[in-house]
Chain A
Amino acid sequence: MSEETIQLYQKRIQIHPRSVKGTFRNLKTGILALALTIYFLLPWLRWERPNAPDQAVLYDLPGRHFYIFGLTIQVQDIFWLAGVLIIFAISLFFVTGLAGRVWCGYFCFQTLWTDLFMMIEHWVQGERPARIRLDRKPWSNRDKLIKKGTTYGLWLLVAFWTGLTFTMYWVDAPTLVVEVFTGQASYAAYFTTFFLTVTTFVMAGLAREQVCIYMCPYARFQSAMFDHDTLIISYDTKRGEGSKGRAKQHRGFRTPEERQSKGVGECIDCGHCVQVCPMGIDIRNGLQYQCISCALCIDSCEHDLINYTSENALNGGKTQLLRPKTIGYGVILTAATATLAWSVLTRSPYTGTVEQIRQPLYTQLSDGGIRNAYEIKLNNKLTAPMTVGIRIEGLPGATLDMSGMERLELAPQERIKLLARVQIPPTQHHAASGDKITFIIEALDGVSIEPIRREAPFYIPENS
């Protein structure tokens, strides 16, 4: 195919962002350092737990337990995850409504890892002009081979450790590392590590801004949360362009007075704001969907022409931070957080359910009494043993028979199914007909908590 063949897709133009110093760069570097430190070190943090894994944060899928510091989450509490996701979503809406794409610019893992990879690239290959020169050289060039090879090698190392660290959150970290390098880890561990290695390498090293532009759904729908008061990063066109547009600093256009008299703006068209942009856009063209609000162009402009502002402020008004949208999101966010916190803090240390066995529905006993059977499921959610007692009430004359397991010692995190038989003497048939029975499952020692009450039907045949 010749170069002139019609292309359906725009060919990617390689971006070589220039490094920049400034307030926002420092902020971003700080967040990057903090986030990566937490991510890479958290799996190594130990947490004393009796009778349970000692990893501070461990998502134990085969064991069906999530351990997060002092909190142990069991399968039946998985709905908390919905709460966490709701809080994440509302936080995103709230922050975006208030200050634009803060998530994209400062916190998104795509941004963070791309930033890290660019730092490596910068360290090995040098500043923007050097990198452009290097890219232009043919692959036969020794210098290029060494530098690019080193960069890719370092990227791969970081990507691999990123993948391995991700896997560490799901199994015991020290064991995993030993197993991975001695070829004893599970297929799932190898696959997860490999997959995350590849995606990290490709997304942060090669695809970069294309992920935000073409792949990320959040990037697109976040603009829907913008309004005239949302903080955006914007070029001050009035000051920058004047009445006759921007002009480079050449003879006759050097001092502010000269420039003012000629009607040109303060922008000297140095191009720094374009060169530092990791998305490869020119912020002077106005707000664009590619802009991830990383604020590096603010740092780059020596004339303070680019700032966090809002559309209202640009038009001479005042930015309203408190407005129905942000207040609304704030209220929902607070409510969701409070609900989740309440649910977590008031969680029961054990659960119990009672289900009637329906095959057979009842048993006629030799003395004429009627027996129903029930399956009781108990689950000790604590990492300590617990004694549980089971009794019944609500059905006159009924007796409970659990073959001596009415009082039961539950091991830490034990779950067990028990058989319970309830029988009523012959004289009670009609008095009790259609009645329900209440099982009371109480913690006898270990914890003091309101007993669990479970109602179950008691079936009595009509002809008895």
Chain B
Amino acid sequence: MSDNTNTPQPSGAVQTTGHAWDSDLQEYNNPLPRWWLWCFYGTVVFSILYWFIYPSWPVGNTWIKGFGTVEYTAVDKATGQEQGKEFRWNTRALLLEELGNAANDQQRKAMLAKVQAADYEQIAKDPKMMEFVRSVGKGLFGDNCAACHGRGGQGVVGMYPNLTDDDWLWGSSTDKIHETLVQGRKGFMPAFGQVLKPEQLDDVAEYVLTLSDEAPSSEDSERGKVIFQGQIGGCYYCHGADAKGIPSQGAANLTDKIWAIANVPAQKTLQDKKAVIKEFVAKGVNNTRVMPAWKDRLSPTDIKLLAVYVHQLGGAQ
């Protein structure tokens, strides 16, 4: 079959391997280019070094970790303090290291320290701090609040309060918002469906509409007023004699154009508007409007940032 003829080959022709099969079948000898071969050997050496430094081979249920380590600083969740950590090489630790060393992160930390040290009044007056709070707050709000209150804080009528308007159930100062965030809130209004007769509910609804000029004063509304301001309904206990609400109770201001629960603006006719109020007064609010307490979920700094952020959303006074 194959016999190594080793016949001298004419120079200038492409060399063959020197073997001949079936007496005339020969194979060209085209060796790999030298540079290619050396690059290949180089990659072999490189890969061996790589195995020692980086995670590489799978072994059973685990893998070879490698000797490479990454140092980075991270905020300890429990204490809120920054701590230096060393971890075996992995891309996540590497990312944390790079993030920590980035110039932008140094600026962020400096700005955060400034905001931490300032009081609410100082923050509100400083354009740079407000820019920072809006930027960081947007992320915090998106992560923690937007699920209920919406991306822009616009809320859902009947479910979650709108944070962008100037009507605040529990008080609009930054301190009050901070309090709301820390301890949470629980809205409550007794159900009047069993207490008042349907026509009485109608009258109260009519009266409530006149408070915000949605309906003209009428006989019905005068009857409603008696119920509202008197002992039958006793609405004034919480909403106040002037019906402007009492923030310490979380009682709504009924004289303004903002409707947190009964969606009055969406109704076309007076009848429909009355109907939604009536329905709501009959049912009341019990365990349906709850704001959770965030003091155990967010750091004091995050709560402070969020308080300023939410405050500026509404531009509350």
Given contacts A4-B12, A6-B14, A419-B134, contact A363 B162 (CB under 8 A): yes
Q: How far is the CA of A368 from the CA of B127 in the complex (A)?
A: 29
**Interface residue ranges of B128-181 to A (CB < 8 Å):** 128, 130-131, 134-135, 150-154, 162, 164-167
A316 proximal to B (CB < 8 A)? no
* Per-position binary interface string of chain A over residues 364-377, scored 1 when its CB falls under 8 Å from any chain B CB and 0 otherwise: 11111001010000
| Min distance, Cβ A179 to any Cβ of chain B, angstroms | 16
* Contacting residues, chain B, for A360 (C-beta < 8 A): 150, 152-154, 162, 164
C-beta contact mask, B97-130 vs A, less than 8 Å → 1, else 0? 0000001000000000000000000001101101
A-side interface mostly:
loop
Contact residue among B11, B31, B131, B315 (Cβ-Cβ distance under 8 Å from A4)? B11
A37 at the interface (CB under 8 A from B): no
Among listed A192-200, A256-264, A303-311, A398-406, interface-contacting one:
A398-406
Say what secondary structure dominates the interface of chain B.
Answer: loop
Query: A6: nearest residue on chain B (CB-CB)?
Result: B14
Q: What residues of A have a CB within 8 angstroms of the CB of B257 in the complex?
A: 364-368, 426
Roughly how many angstroms separate A6 CA and B13 CA in the complex, as a whole number?
7
Q: Chain A residues with Cβ under 8 A from B218's Cβ? A: none
B15, B130, B152: the one within 8 Å of A359 (CB):
B152
Contact partner, B167, options A366, A418, A419, A426, Cβ 8 Å: A366
Residue pair A6, B150 in contact (C-beta under 8 Å)? no
B68 contacts across to A, CB distance below 8 A: none
User: How far does the alpha carbon of A62 sit from the alpha carbon of B102 in the complex, in Å?
Assistant: 11
- Which residues of chain B are near A373, meaning CB under 8 Å? 164
Q: Which residues of A contact B27 (CB under 8 A)?
A: none
In the complex, the answer to whether B165 meets A363 with C-beta atoms within 8 Å is yes
Contact among A363, A366, A371, A418 with B253 in the assembled complex (CB-CB below 8 Å): A366
Chain A interface size, as a band, is 20 to 34
Chain B residue numbers with a CB within 8 Å of A284 are none
In the complex, what distance in Å separates the CA atom of A373 from the CA atom of B166? Answer: 13
Which residues of the partner chain A approach B211 to less than 8 Å between Cβ atoms? none
CA distance A365 to B253 in the complex (A): 13
Contact A365 B166 (CB under 8 A): yes
Contact with B along A396-439 (1 / 0, CB 8 A): 00000101110010000000111101000010000000000000
A363 to B314, CA, bound (A): 9
Is the CB of A182 closer than 8 A to any CB of chain B? no
Q: Mark A5-28, 1 if CB is under 8 A from B, else 0.
A: 110000000000000000000000
Which residue in chain B gives the minimum CB-CB distance to A358?
A: B152
The residues of B that contact A368 with a CB separation of less than 8 Å are 257
16 residue pairs of the A-B complex, CB under 8 angstroms, read A4-B11, A5-B15, A363-B154, A364-B257, A364-B258, A367-B256, A371-B164, A371-B165, A371-B315, A403-B130, A403-B315, A405-B127, A408-B127, A416-B131, A419-B130, A463-B265
* Residue positions of A touching B, CB distance < 8 A: 1-2, 4-6, 62, 357, 359-360, 363-368, 371, 373, 401, 403-405, 408, 416-419, 421, 426, 463-464
Q: 6 closest Cβ contacts across the A-B interface?
A: A359-B152, A366-B256, A360-B154, A4-B12, A368-B257, A4-B11
